């Protein structure tokens, strides 16, 4: 990676941390009534402040490094390592930003907000430790690069790189160890061996060709390989994520790890992936659901294992989890143009409970499908589902308005279908 690219990364990182720091300052003012919550946020703010200072220092150091005429194999290794770790630090602070945003957007009541910060204390401390560790590695790499100016040969610098484990294997991964890592994950899955391989240079994002998994050869990462062992992969997945595995790294038709966790109804694993930065809105068109989002697919198609009651409870928990981590409530399915709200009506599985979850996230209620032009309320009226029509009207859906010019209202649809019990409910609404 060239110095100009690293300089751009550092500037972007500094700007992001400035915004995150300002956000944390605002949140701190709202949490001064709860000492423990306040302490947690203060520690995060201080860490972000120190990391912001480092981001500016990276920019200054890279300018000094790029102005030097010398070059060596060890120096180039450390430049690559510096760029790699700046990218990783960017990923960590962005994941922290999403986590902080989710916590504060999910709880408007100050008391509930304080309780949530305390509940998430261990998780937030873990994020802070990860950022501090990455910052220390970057600081060591910068110091080693600047030290090269006073070193007559590459021996001292090579020792620094070796001591810090910041050689080319840290940035790109040692291929032999990476292949050994894949073999261990496919075979014995010994946690101590997996940790040792990652600590000594195996790349957690190594891509290997797997010719045994299906009709065609495909590229798989250690994480996607580990996810094939559901539900017995939790420890392996945790180790990989802790060592920098990218949770959304997929190639070809391989489902993203988060989609696999949702499909199997594994709430614990899904939460672990989301906490590591998995994108809840990451698209995956090859899975069932007509190209729906993960939220829409969970509403329509996901059927976790277990008896009916346990499966339904787990499905609702997955929907709640997706919404907590920022799932788009207005994402339309490419096939029928349904939003998650319309999917909830169509699926007819715990529809009222799903509608309530969507309503808590301010999902729009009167959005018509692009396929048939019917809103969720119109479709519920067509089905004659009184519990659902009452839930939707309680959210503000209007039964006597025309959504599409020249089209029907929910009330006229109910009348044509002979659902008199709905007409009695709709009679109290004004027509517009």
Is residue 50 in some structural domain? yes
Helix (H, G, I), strand (E, B) or coil at 322: helix
**% of the chain at pLDDT higher than 70:** 76
Evaluate if residue 33 carries a pLDDT over 60.
no
Kindly state the DSSP code that residue 150 receives in the 8-state scheme.
G
Residues 57 and 140 reside in one and the same domain? yes
**Domain-located, residue 153:** yes
Residue 318 within a domain = no
Indicate whether 57 and 182 sit together in one domain: no
pLDDT band for position 191 (50/70/90)? very high
* Number of domains comprising the chain: 2
> In terms of domains, do 98 and 197 share one?
no
Q: Which whole number is the average pLDDT over 11-35? A: 74
Residues 111 and 198 in one domain: no
pLDDT in tens, 327-336: 999 998 887 8
Is residue 177 in some structural domain? yes
Burial class of residue 215, CB neighbours in 10 A (0-12, 13-18, 19+)? exposed
Dihedrals φ, ψ of 210, to 5°? -110, 110
- Indicate the pLDDT class of residue 63, thresholds 50, 70 and 90: low
- The predicted pLDDT at position 414 comes to 94
Q: Which has more pLDDT, 31 or 231?
A: 231
Residue 302 is assigned to a structural domain of this protein: no
pLDDT for 432 equals 55
How many Cβ atoms sit within 10 Å of the Cβ of residue 15?
12
Beta bridge partners of 110: none
My answer on whether 130 and 243 are in the same domain is no
Give the CATH number for residue 211: 1.25.40.20
Last residue of a domain, one of 115, 139, 172: 172
266 pLDDT band, cuts 50/70/90, is very high
CA dist., res. 299 & res. 293, Å (int): 10
Residues 161 and 184 both lie in one domain: no
Nearest to 100 by CA among 359, 325, 363: 325
Both 56 and 86 in a single domain? yes
63, 132: one domain: yes
| pTM, to two decimals | 0.62
Q: Which residue range(s) make up the domain with 140?
A: 3-172
Helix (H, G, I), strand (E, B) or coil at 208: strand
Looking at the domain assignment, is residue 374 inside a domain? Answer: no
Residues 165 and 57 in one domain: yes
CA torsion 389→392→393→397, rounded to 10°? -120
CA distance 256 to 130: 24
- Give the model's confidence band at 74: pLDDT under 50 very low, under 70 low, under 90 confident, else very high: low
Non-local CB neighbours of 257 within 8 Å, separated by 6+ positions: 223, 224, 227, 237, 247, 248, 250, 273, 278
Instruction: Output the CA torsion 147→149→153→154 (10° steps).
Output: 50
Q: Are residues 50 and 118 both part of a single domain?
A: yes
Distance of CA 342 to CAs 128, 154, 404, 411, Å?
Answer: 40, 65, 16, 17
Question: What burial class does residue 239 get, using C-beta atoms within 10 Å of its C-beta: 0-12 exposed, 13-18 middle, 19+ buried?
Answer: buried
Q: What does pLDDT average to over the chain?
A: 79
| pLDDT above 90 as % of the chain | 28
Q: How far apart are CA 207 and CA 194, in angstroms?
A: 16
pLDDT at position 151 is 42
pLDDT band at 154 (very low <50, low <70, confident <90, very high): very low
Kindly state whether residue 418 falls inside one of the protein's structural domains: no
Residue 399 lies in a domain: no
73 and 191 together in one domain: no
Where does a domain end: 264, 291, 318?
A: 264
Give yes or no: residues 159 and 14 share one domain: yes
The per-residue pLDDT for 289 is: 46
Average pLDDT score over residue span 254-281 = 89
Q: Which residue has the higher pLDDT, 174 or 16?
A: 16
Q: What is the pLDDT of residues 80-135, one digit of tens each?
A: 767 777 877 787 788 777 777 777 776 666 667 777 777 777 677 777 777 877 77
Domain boundary among 216, 247, 264: 264
Q: What confidence score (pLDDT) does residue 276 get?
A: 84
For residue 203, give both structure tokens.
Answer: 């790349």
């Amino acid at each position: 990676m060239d110095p100009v690219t690293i300089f751009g990364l550092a500037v972007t990182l500094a700007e992001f941390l400035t915004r995150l720091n300002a956000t944390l300052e605002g949140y701190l003012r709202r949490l001064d009534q709860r000492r423990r919550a306040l302490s947690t946020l203060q520690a995060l703010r201080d860490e972000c402040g120190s990391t912001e200072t480092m981001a500016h220092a990276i920019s200054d150091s890279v300018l000094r490094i790029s102005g030097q005429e010398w070059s060596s194999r060890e120096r180039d290794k450390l430049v690559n390592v510096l760029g790699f770790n700046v990218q990783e630090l960017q990923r960590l602070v962005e994941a922290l930003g999403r986590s902080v945003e989710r916590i504060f957007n999910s709880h408007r009541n100050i008391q509930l907000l304080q309780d949530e910060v305390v509940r998430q204390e261990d998780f937030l401390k873990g994020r802070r430790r990860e950022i501090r560790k990455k910052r220390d590695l970057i600081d060591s790499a910068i110091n080693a690069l600047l030290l090269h100016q006073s070193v007559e040969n590459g021996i001292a610098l090579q020792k620094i790189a070796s001591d810090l484990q910041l050689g080319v294997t840290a940035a790109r991964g040692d291929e032999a160890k990476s292949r050994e890592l894949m073999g261990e994950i496919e075979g014995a899955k010994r946690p101590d061996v997996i940790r040792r391989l990652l600590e000594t240079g195996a790349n957690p994002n190594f891509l290997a060709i797997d010719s045994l998994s299906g009709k065609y050869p495909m590229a798989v990462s250690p994480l996607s390989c580990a996810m094939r062992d559901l539900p017995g992969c939790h420890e392996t997945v945790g180790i990989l994520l802790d060592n920098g595995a990218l949770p959304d790294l997929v190639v070809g038709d391989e489902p993203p790890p988060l989609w696999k966790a949702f499909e199997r109804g594994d709430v614990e694993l899904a939460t672990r992936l989301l906490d590591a930065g998995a994108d809840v809105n990451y698209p995956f068109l090859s899975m069932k659901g007509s190209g729906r989002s993960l939220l829409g697919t969970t509403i329509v198609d996901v059927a976790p294992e277990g008896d009916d009651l346990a499966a339904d409870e787990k499905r609702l928990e997955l929907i709640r989890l997706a919404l907590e981590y920022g799932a788009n409530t207005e994402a339309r399915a490419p096939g029928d143009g349904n939003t998650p709200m319309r999917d909830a009506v169509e699926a007819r599985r715990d529809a009222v409970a799903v509608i309530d979850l969507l309503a808590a996230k301010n999902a729009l209620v009167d959005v018509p499908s692009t396929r048939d032009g019917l809103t969720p309320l119109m479709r519920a009226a067509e089905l004659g589902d009184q519990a659902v029509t009452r839930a939707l009207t309680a959210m503000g859906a209007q039964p006597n308005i025309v959504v599409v010019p020249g089209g029907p209202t929910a009330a006229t649809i109910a009348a044509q279908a002979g659902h008199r019990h709905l007409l009695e409910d709709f009679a109290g609404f004004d027509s517009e």
